[in-house]
Chain A
Amino acid sequence: MGRILIVDDTLFMRTLLKNILFSGGHDIVGEAADGDEAITKYQELKPDLVTMDVVMPKVNGIEALKGIRTFDPNARVVMCTAVGQEQMVKLAIKTGARGYIVKPFQAPKVLEEIKNVLGS
């Protein structure tokens, strides 16, 4: 089970992910509401995995992914985006994302993906 940092600008989505990941036995070590905060929290908490929203104010998810990967090239980041923004997938994967989740999502599949990425 992993120590996870949840990054999303909406409280609702963070709470949902927190519930899903907690039910899967993961430890939620922190939350961030934008990309800037995500980079700071990553450096501070050094989580095993980050779930990263793509569209966020200030620094977006792709930029935050780049920032985190500069600090830790082995960072495991799973991107999370809304339906219709799937064109970001290639960019995110190219930037080093390990997985991609499209909202809305189903808990068992999310847990499966997190487990796969943590095991990779």
Chain B
Amino acid sequence: MPVVPVKIQKDGKWEVTKIDLQQDAMMIAEPFGKTIPFKSIVDLEEKKNLLLITLKSDPPVVLKVASVEKVLQALKRVIIMSCNAYRLSAYFMSPAVRGGVMVTNAAWEKGAIAVLKSSIWFVSQNKQVSVGLKEVTGMELTKREVQNKQVDVVKLDHMENTDVVTSYVLCPLSTLQILLNFLKDTTKDLDMGENELDPLSSQVGMLIYSGMDSHAIENMLNISHGEIDKIYDRLLKIGLVEIVYTRREVQLTPKGVRFITEAVKPPT
């Protein structure tokens, strides 16, 4: 098994070290001098070029590991396939749709799915895709044509930074059901419950989804600032939106009017 160069954070400082990936454990060289059995790893998150490895303990210990892309890929693959997680063999396609646009070169990847504490990982020989459970926005059991046959798949909608992405999972129906039930249970706080939206608020929601700002929404739907504010309040109340920033509208003071008037006068 390979030995890979990494940096690991210790007391807020990055220490250069090496990880020896063995059959059942990874050995971190000095100054750490630690052997971590893969089965003690309960979570793995990826943040930019960092891996956050959570070890089973009370309280949980999180190792922050940095390295080049190739090393992180190797680490991820070994950890995901050996850590303490629910794993299933599956085909996956991720992303299949990004921001509403079909990804033209999307293809089925043969590999596995690992369900960890905070995320689901799709892993194949060349690809590792992490979907944070908090980023899952929708899931359904549906049919898709694969090699001229209609097969059952789970369609998973999730956020990837600010993009809304759709991925597909293909495996035996009974396993798909387990995955679907797990996802439904994990994300049940995203359900609308008793809350319903009137058609105008739904249209505002759709425009926000498409990336329109308040000004564009007012113009498109021909509604006033006051009306849109009320709709925003409703959407905020039921947790459908969050405030990104508050835009100010201003008018000139007499001093401002004098300045502008002077500024446009031709030079004497």
Contact = CB atoms under 8 A, between A and B. Distances in A.
Range for the number of chain A residues in contact with chain B? 20 to 34
B203 interface: yes
A90 B98 CA distance: 18
B97 A106 contact: no
Summarize B's interface: helix, strand, loop or mixed.
Answer: mixed
B102 A15 contact: no
A84 B100 CA distance: 12
B210 A113 contact: no
Instruction: Specify the main secondary structure of chain A where it touches its partner.
Output: helix
Given A16-B207, A16-B210, A19-B212, A102 B220 contact: no
Nearest to A80: B100
B206 interface: yes
Nearest to A100: B102
B220 A106 contact: no
A32 B214 CA distance: 27
B101 A20 contact: no
Contacts of A109: 98-101, 163
Contacts of A99: 101-102, 104
B101 A112 contact: yes
Contacts of B166: 102
Interface in B178-198: none
Interface of A: 12, 15-16, 19-20, 84, 86-87, 89-90, 99-110, 112-113
Given A20-B211, A87-B144, A107-B210, 5 more contacts: A16-B220, A99-B104, A102-B97, A102-B101, A109-B98
